[in-house]
Amino acid sequence: MIEEKRECVRQAGKSTKMARLATEKASMEEMKGRATRRDNKRLERISETGAFLTVRPSRRDGTELERNEFCDAVLLRMGLAPKNLCPKRVTCTARPSQSSTP
């Protein structure tokens, strides 16, 4: 009984995701049809960069980062370890130094 419900929820989530992706693709194609050549190139790059580089900072949406958070995110995006990161996350009890704040 529980397994059937889980499968039902998985299928509903999958179909919802597919519908959302189709809507987003149609919206993107519509924007490309109205856009200038320069904007079309920008729209093409957006699909390759990911949300990290295309979302505007907003307090309301929770996408605004402090300076040190932004620096950590850039380092992670580049495949580098952020400063003041403990080598063993599970057993770490150290706290970042005050000098890491801007």
pLDDT digits (tens, 9 = 90+) for 31-77: 888 888 888 887 777 666 665 566 677 778 777 888 888 888 888 87
The predicted model gives 94-101 an average pLDDT of 54
Q: For Cα atoms 42, 74, 20, give the angle at the middle one, nearest 5 degrees.
A: 50
CA distance 28 to 40: 10
Contact 17, 10 (CB under 8 A): no
What pLDDT is stored for residue 16 in this prediction? 92
User: Where are the alpha helices (H) located in 1-102, listed in sequence order?
Assistant: 2-34, 37-49, 67-77
* Max Cα–Cα distance, the chain, nearest Å: 55
